[in-house]
Amino acid sequence: MKKLNTLNIYWVVTLLMTVAIAAPWVNIHFTSATFVKEYVGAFGISFLMLLTLWKAYSNKAQISFKLSWLKISWLSLFLLGTLSFFWSVYIDFSIGKWLLWFSILSAFIVGYRLKLDKATLLKLCWGFLISALTIAVIGICQYLFEFSSIPQAISPSSTFGNKNMATQPLILMLPFALFLLFSDEIKGGKIWAVTVSIALIMLYLFYAHTRSSWLSIGIELVLITGFLLFKRKTLGQWIDWNGRKTVASIVAFLLFMVLINFNAQGLNLFLNTVTNAVSSTDSSAQSRFEIWAVAIEMIKASPIFGTGLGSWFYNETQGGMGTVKVSTYHMIHNDILQLGVELGLAGLLLFLTSVAMTLMGLIKIIKQDNKTHAWFYYLMLVAVGGSFVQMQFSFPYQLMMPALLFGLYLGMIAQRLEKFVEPIKIIHIQALERYQTGVKSLAVIVTTVVVVIYTNWIAMYDQYNNMLKTNQISKIVEIRTMLHESHSVPIVNYLVTSAFNAKKITESLQISQYLLSYFPEYSRAIYVRAYILVNERRYQEALKVLKRLKQVANDGYYKRALRMQAEIYVNLGQNEQFRQIFDQIIQYDYEQTPDLRQWTLDIYKYYKNYNCAVENKMAGILIQQGKTQQARQHIAKINKNKGSCLAPELHQYQ
């Protein structure tokens, strides 16, 4: 067993480093860094889970399962997610999300079977540090030298495609660097390796300037400082410190303070970066509020059990619950709300219960364990606490690397807790050969299903890339998969607009038709198709598409459809049809749709009829813009037509 555990920890470390560096380094035409990390992590952790089970339960006369409230609560949440297949609004996305949850379960099994002696914990912490450093160094190179071998949505994103995503595993791993730094086994050059690594990881977190990660790191620092102050009288029993560590820490801190004043253009005082990050808070906060408002409406619509794992994106795009501004977000940017949408109040209750069980378990370990393990598990509490703060504004547990880390931590907590808390029940099973074979076969079958699904999706991405590299867009209709992969949907929609902007109209419409063939109620995709047809003056086709959009769209896209219809009728010279549409548009609350104001002013010149409501609306818009004289022209038109319908608030402007 000792050999297995030692071997496993190296494999765990190798897997973490592999997932950290995994990225679309080669196929860059059609890609998702999130998907690449998902399948690399899923393959790796499934293999380690199988190996762990194989070695742990082979050649035993009896197998024992220890049940605890911590295990039962988290397993119940997993089972609820699995059962949600039966009420899922879109089973393909539910299965895709379940694959991530299965990876968390696999990581739990691996973590539960690890040997947790000091030597193993040190090796694990080195793995955390090297993985975090790898992410940080790539991100720093992107920031300082504009290194761009990997596609990036928001730079500097390291290997994650988005800087917000790149910071999420760092929050979960960085605190363990202090386990190394404060260990009596870290000497000489290792001290410099740890301190400089910490400085570089912190430097990348600064360069990324994501406010959620800054807040999380700040809270982690407060928790660690508070612990050290609380233990100040016996601090020497908890940590090892000497002059070399002091010098190395000071040098690393100075390195950090110098480098935060540079960017790709040269000198850039760090206060400028901080100011820019703070000044952008309002716009990003507003978008978060809009997403959260949509999520809350989804929870209200299915409050008990939600709409199934992975259903947010479907509800947003296909379910008619998105808005014009919230129609492309793959995540809610709040993992609590994401869980509420997917599994309802039942899921939230189980999650909160599981968190409470985990917190009580950690406190029990910290209070009763030896100082080495108590310190390690306190750092784990700090790491998870910081991550839970971040998940209020971001989505760490929708991504593979944070999910793997969390599953690993839970397994390690469950195992260590058994030293201090008696299990509520121990189930003994006679390990007959047929039972062992059955369990092993089941594990292999489930893992094979995971591998087959991901392999099918990998082939799909490869087909997309080959199609784009060879400029054979017409072959897109040949690309089919057994299940639709959610990350590919917005990328395909992006290809539509990219082809249109490149004046490749035929290709753009081909991709659009392909997307709508399996996502027929995707309001944004329908609208984009109509927009392309209007620009090509294919008005009759556009009107058919807009009719479909009005049938499935939310309020925002319904208004856009009306506006586009009005413009088509103007171009066709169909005044009566234009009048009917325009009369509908002016009924909307312009305070809720402010972009309609200027459009209404511009399009009014084509309105050839008299309608008192229209004239009132026009006068009101012009008065809001301070154009009183122009408003009086519309008021005069109302008065000329027996103006008893003049709005009361306009009387003072006659």
Position 409, amino acid: Y
Question: Model confidence over 118-150: pLDDT tens digits?
Answer: 999 999 999 999 999 999 999 999 999 887 777
DSSP 455-486: HHHHHHHHHHHHHHHTT-GGGGGG---SS--T
d(CA 84, CA 308): 5
Q: What pLDDT, on the 0 to 100 scale, is given for residue 7?
A: 54
For residues 147 and 141, the answer to whether their CB atoms sit within 8 Å is yes
Residue 456 amino acid letter: N
Contact between residue 136 and residue 170 where contact means Cβ atoms under 8 Å apart? yes
Contact between 157 and 167 (Cβ < 8 Å): no
Banded model confidence at residue 282, pLDDT cuts 50, 70, 90: low
**DSSP-derived secondary structure letter, 154:** B
pLDDT for residue 449 is more than 90: yes
Query: Using an 8 Å Cβ cutoff, are 371 and 179 in contact?
Result: no
Environment class of residue 311 by beta-carbon count within 10 Å: exposed (0-12), middle (13-18) or buried (19+)?
buried
Taking residue 435's Cβ as centre, other Cβ atoms within 10 Å add up to 13
% of the chain at pLDDT higher than 70:
94
Band of residue 1 on the pLDDT scale cut at 50, 70, 90: very low
Percent above pLDDT 90 for the chain: 57
Q: What is the DSSP string of 259-326?
A: HTTEETTEE--HHHHHHHHHHTHHHHHHHHHHHHHHHHHHHHHSTTTTT-TT-HHHHHHTSS---SSS
pLDDT of residue 199: 98
- Mean pLDDT, residues 201-224: 95
Which three-class secondary structure state does DSSP give residue 556?
helix
- Rg of the chain on CA atoms, in Å: 29
**Which residue pairs, CB below 8 angstroms and at least 24 apart, start in 356-364?**
357/69, 357/70, 357/73, 357/74, 358/70, 358/74, 358/384, 358/410, 358/413, 361/70, 361/413, 361/414, 361/417, 361/421, 362/413, 364/417, 364/420, 364/421
Residue from 298, 347, 324 nearest 97 by CA? 347
Query: 351 near 335, Cβ under 8 Å?
Result: no
CB 160 within 8 Å of CB 37 = yes
Please state the separation of Cα 623 from the chain's center in Å: 44
Give residues with Cβ within 8 angstroms of 275, minimum separation 6. none
Residue 399 or 588, more confident: 399
Measured between its terminal Cα atoms, the distance across the chain in Å is: 92
Give the tokens for residue 498: 């990219």
Q: Other CB atoms closer than 10 Å to residue 420's CB: what's the count?
A: 12
**pLDDT tens digits for range 594-624:** 667 777 878 888 877 788 888 888 888 888 8
Contact 149, 25 (CB under 8 A): yes
The predicted pLDDT at position 2 comes to 41
Spatial CA neighbour of 531 closest among 555, 508, 552, 556: 508
Q: Contact at 8 Å (CB) between 602 and 610?
A: no
Alpha helices in 419-574 (DSSP H): 433-469, 488-501, 505-518, 523-535, 539-552, 555-572
Separation between Cα atoms, residue 501 and residue 508, nearest integer Å = 9
Return the pLDDT at 568. 93
Stronger pLDDT, 427 or 289, i.e. the higher one = 289
Asked whether residue 480 carries a pLDDT value surpassing 60, the answer given is: yes
Mean per-residue pLDDT, 168-180: 98
CA 140 to chain centre: 22
In sequence order, the 6+-apart residues with CB closer than 8 A to the CB of 243 are: none
Which among 187, 185, 193 is positioned nearest to 118, based on CA atoms? 185
The more confidently predicted of residues 506 and 174 is 174
What sign has the CA pseudo-torsion 566, 572, 578, 580? negative
Beta bridge partners of 65: 427
Is residue 647's pLDDT more than 60?
A: yes
pLDDT per residue as tens digits for the range 48-85: 999 888 877 766 656 778 899 999 999 999 999 999 99
54-58, 243-247, 441-445: which is most confident? 243-247
What's the CA gap between 234 and 240, in Å, rounded?
12
**pLDDT tens per residue, range 320-366:** 788 878 888 889 999 999 999 999 999 999 999 999 999 999 999 99
What is the SS3 assignment for 162? strand
DSSP codes of every residue in 45-91: HHHHHHHHHHHHHTT-SEEEEEE-HHHHHHHHHHHHHHHGGGT-S-H
The mean pLDDT value of the chain amounts to 89
Six-digit token pair at 312?
């947010």
Q: Is the pLDDT of residue 420 over 80?
A: yes
Phi and psi at residue 146, in whole multiples of 5°? 50, 40
Q: How confident is the model at residue 307 (pLDDT cuts 50, 70, 90)?
A: very high
CB 398 within 8 A of CB 331: yes
Q: Is the pLDDT of residue 633 over 90?
A: no
Contact assessment for residue 294 and residue 326, using Cβ atoms and an 8 Å cutoff: yes
- Mapped onto helix, strand or coil, the DSSP state of residue 587 is coil
